[in-house]
A and B are shown apart, each in its own frame.
Chain A
Amino acid sequence: MKYISQIFDIALRELNILRKNRIYGFCMLVFPVLLVFFFTTMLDEGVPQDLPIGVVDQDNSAMSRGLVRTLDAMQNSRVEYRFASVTEARCAMQEGKVYAFLYIPKGTASKLLAGRQPEISFYYTMTCMTAGSMASKDLKTLGTLGSAAVGQAMLSAKGATPDQIKAALQPVTIDAHMIANPQSSYNYSLTTVFVPGILMLFMALLSAYAVGMEMKFDTGKEWLARADNNIVVAFLGKFLVHALVFFFVIFVYQYYIFNVLHFPRLGGVWSIVRLTILQVASSLGFGAFAFGLMPSLRMSMSISSLWSVLSISMCGSAFPVAGMDPPLQAMSWLFPLRHYWMMYQATVLNGFPVIDVWFHLVALVAFTLLPWLVLRKIKNAMLNYVYIP
């Protein structure tokens, strides 16, 4: 009972601190809202649409104009420029005006009809991979359509039925099932890792900040005194408030993406709740541990911020961990976000049983318990260290 009232007392004290220092309000409420707004509006299209594309049409035949019109009508591309030469098109690419261009040399149509296998080329820039691969996909489809047009005309002249034509042009087709993200939307895959990732960064930074500020303003002794110098109670009281605020923020975010924006998920509500608890606990644990390692406000915050920014790359959501060098693959275990993301995609996005990712769950629990190793050091720091600016 004594402990509970002490925890409550410290929690009230912490609440007062959160109210007074404006930075908490910004990092706990304003920035997360901005962040969610930023990513969901930025990636609202889901897949980049109407990318500016150029055409160098030296053939100027009915067929080549037909190809250009088809390209313009495609979802990802918009024919924005027509160039006289390849050099001109290349310069426009370097200036960032187009992401790709299609080159149809003179005589393409007549060669095609004569069966002399003409060649058309498309050039796309891979300095923006999303745009480059989208544009190249459209241009590839266009090439296939161009080839098919000849065969189709011939077959229908011979009296083949539409089904026969389809089977003759493409004997084997692919029936794609994109589980849990049928539009292959970047919004669904990027927002759900960047927003939680940056929130985890805030949690880790703020927990190091909260403990560090006690030292900076020499209030640590008073903080510990309220818990009768029991550091565990002092910690629980302090982080209870942080955890509750972040739970609230994260649930609002999840309500927004899943119920308002209708992001797909196959996992149930419980999988989200479980993951959120682990997310908050492990991040707070990590930040407190960073402070314990180096009981200085500045160093611990620097370490947590450098580590957390790195975790956005190391979690492997953009470039997969399996593609990295083996030492980096091993290192990826040291980043809470990596485990969060693995659990998210398995249990929330795909709705798989949690037992299949149990080791990531254990890792998140381990991060939560990390401060245990340095509690004595933090206590010592609170009671004896002097802050040097």
Chain B
Amino acid sequence: MSIFRKLKEHFVDVLYIWRQEMKQVVMDEGVLMFLVVLPLGYPLLYSWIYNNEALRETPVAVVDQSHSALSRQFIYDCDATPDVHVKYYAQDLDEARSLVSRQLVKGIYLIPSDFADRVNRGEQATVSVYCDMSLMLAYKSVYQTAMVESMRLGAGINIKRAGNYTKHEDAITAQPLIVDGIAMYNPLGGYGSCVLPAVLMLILQQAIALGIGMSAGTARERNRNGLLIPDDDPHYRGAYRIVWGKALCYGMIGAVAAAYISMAIPHMFSFPQLGDWRTLLLMLLPYIMASIFFGMTVSCLVRYRENVMLLMVFVSVPLLFLTGVSWPQSSIPSYWQGVSWLFPSTFGVRAFIRANSMGATVSQILPEIRILWIQAAAYLGMACLVYRYQFRMARKYAND
């Protein structure tokens, strides 16, 4: 047989397998759910959940035992901030505590009876802040508001004491050194803008892996001898054509899902979008390929189709942690860093955040892109090994 004929035959087989796989995806509602509904619906839902970005007006209770102009000033100032809302005045700490217990407030400001007296005597006065630690965001609002307002109150007291002549002198008394803090790439400090890009990329990988796993499980249940490929179909003759045929099918779906997830969703919910589409393309291409071949490799572990669900659902939250979005990468123990190298999501998420949220150029995310290509190649090799084994088994059964 001439090389040309052979190539053509190979090509036809790949296309045939692509079509078969596509048919299977469309016919199977379980696979369809994970490959279409999941990447379409979940990003919308998650974006909606985190759409408000920040927690505003955290309710607090105040126990004002000082009843002075100064203490009232402090309470007004706190109430006027966007983060804290003084919802209750309690007579004593016990009453305030019962308000926390009934989930009505998230913190207590206790102003002791000698508060104003101490300030007027030139001593240091104290406001006690009691925080409910069950919600980290609420704790930060309650504590930081009190902190900032106490410093402002103190600056005001200092200005009065200084007896300056000009406004400029007052400003220098209040703040001899101006410190300007600038939050970058997520200026509001929003929770959604921070977590969502990571969640979106993770959804992409999980959807692809779940879809491949489910359809492999179905194939095992349908084919004789629990094989991943039918042993009586002449087109399934060779590991490469099977792997490429399948990859074309999932790559097609993955490409649409990736475009939707990386461009449409951030646009709809106005998440940071500094990335250039060419950079995103260069990073998403190896990511989708690595995810597909990763999914194929994992699918060989699946005996029943439902098991892949248990496996993938189990790893999704730990995988999010391994990307370094909820917990800083520099604080991840080294052995978990090592484990994180096994998953495309680790580098896909990092590259996407840097390119999309932080506007990094290709050369700045080159290390991540390189690792994604290495992962794609390694998992491709493994997927070929898996299917070569399956192919040999199929031939053995066919010959018997």
Residues of chain A whose beta carbon lies under 8 Å from any beta carbon of chain B: 23, 26-27, 31, 35, 38-39, 41-45, 48-52, 90-91, 93-96, 99, 108, 112, 115, 117-134, 136, 139-140, 142-144, 146-147, 150-151, 163-164, 166-168, 170-181, 184, 186, 188-190, 194, 197-198, 201-202, 205-206, 209, 212, 297-299, 301-302, 305-306, 308-310, 312-314, 316-320, 322-325, 328, 342, 345-346, 349-350, 352-353, 356-357, 389
Contacts and interface: CB of A to CB of B under 8 A. Distances in A.
Given A313-B49, A350-B100, A389-B221, 11 more contacts: A48-B331, A117-B171, A143-B179, A172-B125, A175-B129, A302-B33, A308-B313, A317-B134, A319-B50, A346-B101, A346-B134
B146 A174 contact: yes
A205 B130 CA distance: 40
B172 to A, nearest CB: 5
Nearest to B122: A167
B306 A297 contact: yes
B327 A130 contact: yes
A305 B214 CA distance: 14
A178 B133 contact: yes
Contact of A325 (B51, B193, B354, B365): B51
B313 A309 contact: yes
Contact of B147 (A48, A126, A174): A174
Contacts of B138: 320
Contact of A127 (B101, B153, B194): B194
Given A127-B353, A205-B309, A323-B55, A139 B130 contact: no
B54 interface: yes
B103 A118 contact: no
Given A125-B185, A175-B128, A298 B139 contact: no
In order of increasing CB-CB distance, the 9 nearest A-B pairs are A143-B179, A345-B134, A126-B186, A181-B133, A131-B328, A352-B101, A119-B178, A94-B360, A323-B55
Nearest to B33: A302
A17 to B, nearest CB: 14
A199 B197 CA distance: 26
A206 B307 CA distance: 10
Interface stretch (B6-14, B257-265, B318-326, B370-378): B318-326
Contacts of A23: 304, 307, 310
Given A48-B330, A51-B330, A117-B175, A93 B318 contact: no
B101 A27 contact: no
- Kindly name the residue among B33, B125, B151, B179 whose own CB sees the greatest number of chain A CB atoms within 10 A: B179
B30 A126 contact: no
Contact of A172 (B127, B135, B175, B178): B127
A242 to B, nearest CB: 14
Interface in B167-221: 171-172, 175-187, 189-195, 197, 218, 221
B306 A301 contact: yes
B293 to A, nearest CB: 24
B178 to A, nearest CB: 4
A1 B281 CA distance: 68
Given A23-B310, A173-B124, A120 B132 contact: no
22 contacts: A42-B327, A42-B333, A43-B327, A48-B328, A48-B331, A115-B176, A119-B177, A124-B182, A126-B190, A127-B357, A128-B194, A131-B328, A132-B183, A163-B123, A171-B158, A198-B317, A302-B33, A317-B135, A318-B191, A323-B55, A323-B137, A346-B134
Interface in B8-53: 29-30, 33-34, 38, 42, 45-46, 48-52
